A and B are shown apart, each in its own frame.
Chain A
Amino acid sequence: GAGVSQTPSNKVTEKGKYVELRCDPISGHTALYWYRQSLGQGPEFLIYFQGTGAADDSGLPNDRFFAVRPEGSVSTLKIQRTERGDSAVYLCASSFGDGELFFGEGSRLTVL
Chain B
Amino acid sequence: AQSVTQLDSQVPVFEEAPVELRCNYSSSVSVYLFWYVQYPNQGLQLLLKYLSGSTLVESINGFEAEFNKSQTSFHLRKPSVHISDTAEYFCAVRRVNDYKLSFGAGTTVTVRA
Contacts and interface: CB of A to CB of B under 8 A. Distances in A.
Given A42-B4, A42-B90, A42-B106, A4 B43 contact: yes
Q: Do most interface residues of chain A lie in helix, strand or loop, or is the interface mixed?
A: loop
Contacts, number: 47
A103 B44 contact: yes
Interface of A: 3-4, 31, 33, 35, 40-45, 48, 56, 59, 91, 93, 98, 100-101, 103-106
Contacts of B42: 105
Contacts of B9: 40
Interface string B15-31: 00000000000000000
Interface in B65-102: 90, 92, 99-102
Contacts of A4: 43
